[in-house]
Chains A and B, each alone.
Chain A
Amino acid sequence: MTTIVRIARKELTDLVRDGRFRVGAAVIGSLLVVSLGAGWMQVRDARAHLDAAQATARDHWESQGEKNPHSAAHYGIYAFKPRLALSFVDHGVDPYTGTSVWLEAHRQNDFLMRPAQDASSAQRFGTLTAAGVLQHLVPLLIILIAFGAMAGEREQGTLRQLLATGVGRRELLAGKALGISAALALLVVPAAILGATALLVGSGATGSLAARGAVLVVVYLAYFGAFIGLTLAVSAWAPSSRAALVTLLGIWVVNGLVAPRVAVDLSSALHPAPTAFEFSRTIDEQMATGVRDILPPDREAITQALLTEHGVDQVEDLPVNLSGITLQASEEFGDRIFDLNYGQLWDTFERQSRVHETLAVAAPLLAVRALSMGLAGTDVEQHRHFAAAAETYRRDLMRQMNGDLAQNSRTGEQYLAGDELWASVPPLEYDAPELAWVLGNRALSIAMLLLWFLGAMVAAVLSVRRTRVA
């Protein structure tokens, strides 16, 4: 044990004195500080904007004046996608999803106003976020400080000496890994503390957020661990430190640049999404004629049933407003059409996400990215979660409007409702999903990351066992 600690201490001292580590850690450290600070400010401002927008939208709804409830349903209300406090670490897909949706009668609308649509094309290079630094730059730092850990000792002839003093190969490996980890901790621990502080200041973190944050830290530690193991394995396996560096840089390029884009092409080739045109045309057609067992409501049958139920001959004599009843029936028909089409679309997106996650077998970044976005609340699945909540809210709103129309007026009557009805509609309350939900969604990524972590450890042990001494 003491041998391992001694080796680790020596490695740490070497690294801390090494210019490459100092420069790299200083650069990455400042980028982390900048990205955390900027992200935090951005999320704070975005949340303030969204709160104000939501309040204004509510105000518009409540002060719309006297109207028929169905006119009010057409006027509808806007919902704005909230941002989780943790999203300052990882913006995820947020710039590419719409931020607001119009909840109106008869139709489920798309989320509009993607921030990226207003940004210039430079945006496509990506914005500096803490997640980006942790996913791309920290692994590069690990490679730069550790590619020579084994190969370098061999080239300098110190490996033979070391092993001759009775140090076991596994002890050597453990010591090296520990030393590199300790050096990295000098960078990562302050960053994690800074991030946690920012989270506390930003939101008075709830237990759920704290749990997400804690898991996020574990995820990144596992990722770094996998890279340390991988780097040591390659360093021990490669014939020279130069070969080790070239191999590792190749892995880094594939991991960070090539694999993510290949995943994009592969996912859309395997699970093609409909074009915008096909999607809206399908919905229009199905809304007109129905599909399979989802058929448009039969107004005649509804009318007859009501007449029979209330024992009257004319719709004017019904104690309810027929319009309210048929409007609600057509809402429910539409809802099933939307569930079918949007359900298929979201499922396609989820299958595409699975392709990204599966490719993590070749690039751990894909697993870490999925987990990081998931925990920060900025992945596609959590966008869907909010979209579903907004849609449920729309349906409740329509039911309330149609119900009021049906119950408080008679067929054919001019009926106006007022502020009281608008105010009685509860505001949209949205709770982000719990940690368990996120992790359940990302089980594949967890497995992949674990596989990489353990695989890298095993590879390092095997590789060190076989490494040539000179």
Chain B
Amino acid sequence: MAVRTILGNEARLLRADPALLAGLALFGAVFAYALLNGAAWVARQNTTLEDVRAAEVERSAALEAELAEIAAGAEPASRFRDPRSPTVLGGNRGARTAVLPPGPLAALSVGQSDLRPYYYDVSIYTNEQTFLQNGEVENPLNLMVGRFDLAFVLTYLLPLLVIALGYSVLSAEREQGTLALTLSQPVTVRAVVGARLLFRASIVIGLGVGASLVGAAVSGGFGTPGRVALWCGAVVLYTLFWFGLSAWVNTLGRSSSWNATALVGAWLALVVVVPAMVNIAAGLLHPLPSRVEMISTAREASNEAVNSRSELLARYLEDHPEMAGAVVADVAGTAALSWAATVEVDRRVAEVAARYDEQLAQQHSIVRRYRILSPALLAQELLNDAAGSGDVRFADFDGQVRAFAEAWRAYFVPSILSGGVMTSEAVAGRPVFTYRPEPFTGVVGRATGPLLLLLLSAMLVTVPAIVGLGAVRGAA
């Protein structure tokens, strides 16, 4: 009964406060703008992927046509681009494109998708250096600043709305002298403040979750309801953390302006300063190994490999005795020789890359430990991961491309070694890349930790708030 009265009064207060209504309307507009932005980015990616796929179809058609002409007696257009050669058909000319479609909720979070490559042309020459390529063409300045997407609004700006709604939830009552009056009614401080904050929290959460659901609906994200639920869960917990913090600060019995200063300070510390400190600490304490070594190794290996190709081929055949019978010793064998050199260079680069990746994974896992210092870091990771624009999805894609490149080589290498001649059937028979979305259980497994930590952070501020509210007395 009492709670319903409080909620009713809250709704009346809200309707009567033009500043508050304007603030909410402003946030509504900001959400819409962020969603449009995210959708535009996804549309751009999709257009690119259509172009990429069309180009691949075009390439295949040209190869088949040329092979058909050659079969009918024509000469190849160029000796170096003769599609009958397995190193040409398996090389750049016949390459297939491995494509990572935008994540299920990509319109909600641009995440790392403006930075990491989302398609690769895969050929027999695909090696670890392939993965060093840049992603989309983008102004470095724009990459540095980042986009105005929903994830940005939720992580950075939403807490400010929460603070504006919650900083004086109790202190203003005391300052206006209405606290004693309110408490003369048969209600507790806990019930009053709790009901008021829950009312406001439901508005903010409704706004945040509502915008997310609209975005998900428009971009077809409901195909993966689990991810939508995970996203919304992160939004709810993150919002509750900030409301809990506001409630707790209110129980300290300070003035409204002190509360506001403290809360804005907390926002600044948790959303801006701590993540920046984490990044600098990560860079200093756990520096990334240098990629330069990979280049140097590749250069040295190719310098040496060119001079010792026959030796390398012999060694390669020792490792792959099943190929030995296939190698022909005539002129076509030069393809086998240079393939042996390629394999050797790839092998040495892969060694360096494996070492590098190990160090990188270690560095990332250490940095991930620091997330506990800031709910904003936790929220960002959860949102990116749920949206499918986080680091893991791109790393998983790279892994799938590596495996596909293996299959690709397995298809062409026997012909390279035996000097085989490729036909239009061989064009059609080339392996095809199919992206396998990561099973949702994997996402959940990764998200459980940060979700629990976010819940813990929310409870760490809410529990003392509830205890503190029990101790508040009406007298100023």
Contacts and interface: CB of A to CB of B under 8 A. Distances in A.
B3 to A, nearest CB: 30
A353 B141 CA distance: 8
Given A128-B277, A264-B145, A113 B291 contact: yes
9 contacts: A38-B284, A117-B135, A119-B279, A126-B279, A261-B146, A268-B142, A278-B48, A281-B55, A352-B141
Contacts of B420: none
B430 interface: no
A425 interface: no
Given A31-B273, A279-B137, A264 B142 contact: yes
Contacts of A383: 140
Contacts of A260: 145
Contact of A261 (B148, B303, B367, B376): B148
Interface string B121-137: 00000000000111111
B141 A93 contact: yes
B115 A116 contact: yes
Contacts of A100: 292, 295
Q: From A63, A111, A118, name the one whose CB has the most chain B CB atoms within 10 angstroms.
A: A118
B32 interface: no
B134 A127 contact: no
A140 B265 CA distance: 10
Interface string B284-313: 100110111001100110110001000000
Contacts of B391: 120-121
Interface of B: 37, 40, 44, 47-48, 51-52, 55, 111-112, 115-116, 132-148, 152, 156-157, 160, 257, 260-261, 264, 268, 272-273, 275-280, 282-284, 287-288, 290-292, 295-296, 299-300, 302-303, 307, 360, 364, 367-368, 370-371, 376-377, 380-381, 384, 390-391
Given A122-B278, A125-B276, A125-B376, A264 B147 contact: yes
B276 A78 contact: no
Contacts of A195: none
B276 A126 contact: yes
Q: Is chain A's interface secondary structure helix, strand, loop, or mixed overall?
A: helix
A124 B140 contact: no
Contacts of B152: 261
Contact of A275 (B111, B137, B360): B137
A95 interface: yes
A273 B115 contact: no
Given A113-B291, A279-B137, 4 more contacts: A75-B302, A97-B140, A260-B145, A275-B136
Contacts of B111: 121
A100 B143 CA distance: 18
Contacts of B307: 65
**Of B257, B273, B280, B300, most A-chain CB atoms within 10 Å:** B280
Nearest to A39: B280
A265 B368 contact: no
A114 B134 contact: yes
A267 B257 CA distance: 38
A349 to B, nearest CB: 5
A267 B275 CA distance: 27
Contacts of B280: 34-35, 38, 127-128
A383 B299 CA distance: 25
A257 B157 contact: yes
A125 B380 contact: yes
Given A257-B157, A264-B145, A273-B138, A78 B364 contact: no
Contact of B140 (A65, A249, A278, A380): A380
Interface in A382-436: 383
B352 to A, nearest CB: 13
A126 B146 CA distance: 10
Contacts of B276: 125-128, 132
Contacts of B296: 53, 56-57, 60
A144 B280 CA distance: 26
Contacts of A265: 37, 147-148
Nearest to A115: B288
B146 A112 contact: no
- The interface centre, meaning the residue of A128, A258, A273, A345 with most chain B CB atoms within 10 A of its CB, is A128
A49 B290 CA distance: 8
Nearest to A78: B295
A117 B55 contact: no
A120 B288 contact: no
Nearest to A60: B299
A42 interface: yes
Interface in A99-115: 99-100, 110-115
Contacts of A269: 40
Nearest to B155: A125
- Residue among A31, A42, A125 having the largest count of chain B Cβ atoms under 10 Å: A125
B283 A127 contact: yes
A277 B133 CA distance: 13
A93 B116 CA distance: 16
The 9 closest A-B pairs by CB, nearest first: A125-B275, A128-B276, A93-B140, A261-B148, A96-B140, A96-B143, A127-B279, A53-B292, A128-B280
Nearest to B356: A118
Contacts of B273: 31, 128, 137
Nearest to A373: B141
Interface string A63-102: 1110000000001001010000000000011011111100
A137 B264 CA distance: 12
B398 to A, nearest CB: 11
A253 interface: yes
A132 B391 CA distance: 25
A123 interface: yes
A169 interface: no
A245 B116 contact: no
A120 B48 contact: no
Contact of B51 (A98, A117, A277): A277
A212 interface: no
A253 B376 contact: no
A263 interface: yes
Nearest to A42: B283
A121 B133 contact: no
A122 B283 contact: no
Given A38-B280, A100-B295, A125-B275, A45 B287 contact: yes
Nearest to B258: A20
A125 B116 contact: no
Contact of A121 (B144, B291, B380): B380
B148 A42 contact: no
A78 B287 CA distance: 23
A356 interface: yes
Contacts of A122: 275, 278-279, 282, 367, 370-371, 377, 380-381
Nearest to A350: B139
Task: Pick the most buried of A92, A144, A257: most chain B CB atoms within 10 A of its CB.
Answer: A257
Contacts of B147: 261, 264-265
Nearest to B260: A245
Interface string A14-41: 0000001000000000010011001001
Contacts of A117: 115-116, 134-135
